[in-house]
Structure 1
Amino acid sequence: DAMMIHIANQLRSIFTPSDYIARLGKDSFGIFVTNMKTVADAEKKAENVMDIFQKGFGFKLNYFNVSASLGMAVYPEDANFYDKLFEKSAIALYVAKDHGKAQFTKYSESMDKFSSAARKYSEYKPVNNIEERNSIVNAEIISDTIDILFDSNYSGYAIDTLLSVVGTLLEINHLIIFEASDDKKWIDATHEWAQKNEFLLEDKISHMPYEKHEKGMLFLKNLNHRFVSENDGDVYVPENFANENTLKLRRIIQCGIYDKDEFVGYLSALSYEKGKAWSKTVIDTLAMVTKIIGESIIRDRTLRKSILTSQRDQLTNTYNFNAFLNETNRVHIENREKKYAIMYIDVNQFKLINETYGYSAGDFILIEMGRIINRECGESAIVSRVTGDKFLACVEYQDEQNINEIADRISEAGKKIEDDTGAVYKLAIVIGTYVMQNGDSAIMAVDKANIARKNAQRKHILYSLYRDEMHNEIAEEKEIEDVMEEALVAREFKVYYQPKYNLTTGRVYGCEALSRWDRKGKGIVNPGTYIPVFEKNGFIKKLDYYVFEEACALVRNLMDEKKEVYPISVNFSRIHFNNDQLPEFLLETVKKYRVKPESFEIEITETALRQVDEHFRSVLSKIKEYGFSISVDDFGSGLSALNMLSDFKFDVLKIDKDFFHNQSTTEREKIVISSIAEMAEKLGMELICEGVETETQADFLESVGCHHAQGFLFSRPLPVGEFLRLVYNVDFKKP
């Protein structure tokens, strides 16, 4: 309707008062033009009509995407009577529309063949002028509304200007537009105009609870699209709005804004003049203005939602990666005086959570992590889920301690995520942080925070602040990954054996197989350099298999030489227990080398027992069923194994070497070790202590019932040849 009014006003501006303009149907107009001197003059007028659409709001604004077709017939050249003249113009209109959009055609006799097809256009009957309907509006204001609103690049400023124009022309004291939040929790006054500044409510009408709508001042949800107070004083003013001016409020008009059936907001017109009634023109015009403004607001909200959706991670509602980079760059550039840090946050072993508890539980944890990070980093933080279980946060900070506190809060909250069933998930959160410098781009800052995160993972710590030397460490890791496969094929990995001693007899009774990398051109590589890399990328499985096969080959060789076979313990990563392959591999390999499972001890670290499920237990049970012994390595590095010791019969318990921090043993260490020895004896488990370096430590261990040990006091890990000469006084021969 507003558009039809606008078009009618534009047509009037082209023609003279002696010309007749009529609306012939829903979207059609008929114009009877008088006093045209030539056909060329008539064609010029027709071109002016077409310009309304091409320049006014069609191609220029491209909002409504309105176009028009025009057919013209001329008296007396084409017809002598009005009915015939109208019929000929209808035929010309048909031909114009047939040619495509935005076409103008003048009638010619050759077009008569289309007369039957064009009849639908000539059957229109002229109707009264557009204003003469049940609704009476101020057409000038409607036309101004469209011009102001859709000729502006910024709709917010246009609406402010529009309220000023409408309020002034309709002599309204006060106009306010209220909008509901997308989640329908709040109502905000987004635009306000008043004849006098003292009427302005400003901050008093922002962020109002949606459910607290009051009659007469806030739009009621159960009302239809319009509310009009008819009598002076028939208005309730909520307490938070009350001041010496609003208490004088006499009358109010409120017109709702709806997107289909969804309530979006409303326009409120306030009168403070006693005895002044609302005219029908004012009421209807405000209703029409509200519709037009509402379309603009709905368009902006839809666009905003679309942009927001394109910027958001669909699961956690945090920013996606590209949006995070853009927003971080913007904030960093616009606030150079502030300090910002990038935190790269990773949920450790999240894949295991998905496999153990299912993807629904995994999604729940990711959603909760997004909430935790948003909450702990603060409202100003920019938070993103990068991919999978990894998040980013750009946080404003005061000092380094402030960053550490944020990281601590995130880590602590991650340890106690509880779902609706009461199940609690204790996550290990790894965080890498980079402090942004002036001139840094977001992508560079993210890369450095990621390097800090990888450094934390590599060192098995939960938090790391970026240092420049970390670049070299990452480069070394990449270099290792580039050559590890080739190195395994080339047998650069060697198996060393560290003897285990019986403290009572002083004799070797077993050994532990350990990998050493004799890297081409570099020599022996420290296991602490490559083992964490292999653990992370999964290559550790191949290396473990390789070490076990080498150990089997050694046992086979000893059996062929008729030598006594001492049990060999071999370490296996936690990764092996994610599927059923390990027990079968062990069994097939001992069969391949024709050796006995009893000759081997399968070591798993205590940290591997932190997350134990039925599948993990079944793999352990299968290994024992096949005849292999199982030992818990590094016992004492945590408390995780205690529960497993009560319901699973391990064969060997190896005390963590970290119990010996000094050359001598402290009283507290003695108490702990003697307690473990007593527990192991009662559980029927063999106890061995690694890392023994002094005679004093060895004597103490024997005194508390720990009769087995390994360490540099007895022997370092040895290449196979040296080990055989030490234990058997023979050289190793490959089978």
Structure 2
Amino acid sequence: MKRDINTLSLLNEISELVYVSDPETYELLFVNQTGCQTLHLENYKHKKCYEVLQGKTSPCEFCTNDRLCDDNFYTWEFTNPSIGRHFLLKDKIIQWHGKTARMEIAFDITERELQKQELKNMLDVQTLITNCVRMLYAVDDLDQTINAVLTQIGEFLVSDRSYVFEIKDELMNNTHEWTAPGISPQLEKLQQLDLSLISDWLPFFEKNDCIIIDDVEQLQKTNPAAYATLHAQEITSLIAAPIFLDNKLAGYIGIDNYDSEKIKNSSYLLLSMAIFLSYAIRHRNHVELLHRLSYHDLLTNALNRNAFMDTLSHFKAGENASIGIIYIDINGMKEINDFYGHHQGDKILVTTVAKVFNIFNPGELFRIGGDEFVIITYDMQEADFQEKFNLLRNIFCEKTTLPFSIATGSCWSNSPGDLNTLLQQADSAMYTDKKKFYYGKEKTSRYRHNLDDILNLANHGALQEALAAGQFCIYFQPKISLDTEEFIGSEALIRYTNQAGEIITPNNFIPILEEARLIKMLDLYVFEEVCKQINIWKEKKLRVKPVSINLSRSTLSYHFLADQLLELIAKHNIDISLLELEVTETAEVDNQLVFSQALEKLKEYGFSISIDDFGVRNASLSLFTTINFDILKLDRSLVKTLAQNQKARVLIRSLAVICSDLGIKLIAEGVETLEQLDILKELRCNEVQGYLFSKPLPLNDFENKYLQIHQ
């Protein structure tokens, strides 16, 4: 008896819960003081263990009686739902007052289990973040990937809905969404929402904190408008994390009706995902901008020549009942730029497109040249087409409202078999209209970009005579390093002197030579003249720096071009490193593969390749993957808009990073102001050229200013 009393006293002193029960009847025989306190138990006699310990009405399905013996303890773990604690249990058969009984010692390891669960949850969160990031950067379709990421997050947090909102112009749009089975999608209903709906959230977002609303009902009085929106979606709780782009709130990622047990690490999860989503969205925006620039003119927002050529290549006869074409050319554009500056010329281009958009759809207008546009309409009745054409002419003939006029030509057909033929007919009609404008002016009898003797250059013999007579001469425009602002090279620019002694710039005669397929003759002439001049500079011991030479794309398609250029280099004994080849964009190449192969061959021979006019017709990311080149030259139209155009700055900054990573030199043309220069320095451009430093100079002026040794 005394031993039994000592045993009870010892068991009551133990800090762990101990109980003894009858394995046959499940009747409790003993519960120590710790057990009574833990279970709030005053009397356990004649009560069943499963009633007192587990709150059940019948033996537990997990009962271990059939696994117990008197030799060893049976050890296991269990979370008791009635008291919400997790135990390490040790069970054994013992003799209790001469009877076989079951004894269980329960060690409370709840805190350790919580720590283990929290660690597991954190590891699960880290794994989820890793998987989501891998998805974001492994798939090209970002929209599809974001939806997949939202699925992973929504399911992990056992929520009803996960989503992304993007913010623009103080309005919110639900752009991506995942919903659990049985939950109605809300994305279409949540568009163009006023930012004021989440005004209470913004202070949290500004600190880069999550907003956590455990009970939406609390908003009924503090923010009725937000409450109405959330209540209508049957949202009872939510958590959202801000997404920033360039330190500006651009959206947020959110979760609705989540599992409260998962909330502890959800803030870390969402804030982390918001960061990676911001990177992915920024990348998407840059890609979209570059893609848009591939098919849209940055200045006017009209479709560009790239889109025009794409339209021509995809045209199929018989697909349309009718096609109407209008050619537009702005009268006197060169004089406007010369006398009033390119800024005024740009305004006129923008005004022209805006007026056209009032009559025709944006998808019908193409800017195919500096001041030339084409409108292509499909399946429009002739009377309707003619009415729109007349309206267009009348708008631009009202000189009291517009300080300029346009030349137009049109063609309509209800049996369009060849689009190029229709385009030529409309161009010819515009050409005739253009003559009326210039023949009516006192000071000149020229029209479009052509002088009468320039037209004659399309004749092979006349071009040879002009070259032999020295009517073509080379001007040089210096290139300047942005780091040192020192002279580091130049670009050779051809000029033509007509019979009247006027200096004609290449945009007035290059297109004619390209159309006549005579441009290769002029390109090779310029190349050899530059080689001659470099050799002369060497003999005169002047400062010789690399010279870039423009080659037409059609010239590059000439099969033996590389060999012929090397022969000229050898003939004049100059180093190939002193020459750069610039690819112009005025002529299209029918076979892009032939073009890229030609450049690759020139690279193999040691030539440095420069892509010219990037940002107008040539603004495709495919350049970086399909063509091997050394230098990228930004078109002057991008540089002009730098101060006012955030998109242009974003584009150039992105290009600078891409070029730096690929080892490509980035050059900006048309730099005219110190403000442009400072911005380009900030954007990490490498070199510049433009009137800020020097206009194109005749040979002697160029030598005196830039090539003398003392300089």
TM-score (normalizing by structure 1)? 0.39
Larger Rg over CA atoms: 1
The alignment's TM-score, normalised by the length of structure 2, stands at 0.40
- Higher relative contact order, structure no. (Cα contacts within 8 Å, ≥ 6 residues apart): 2
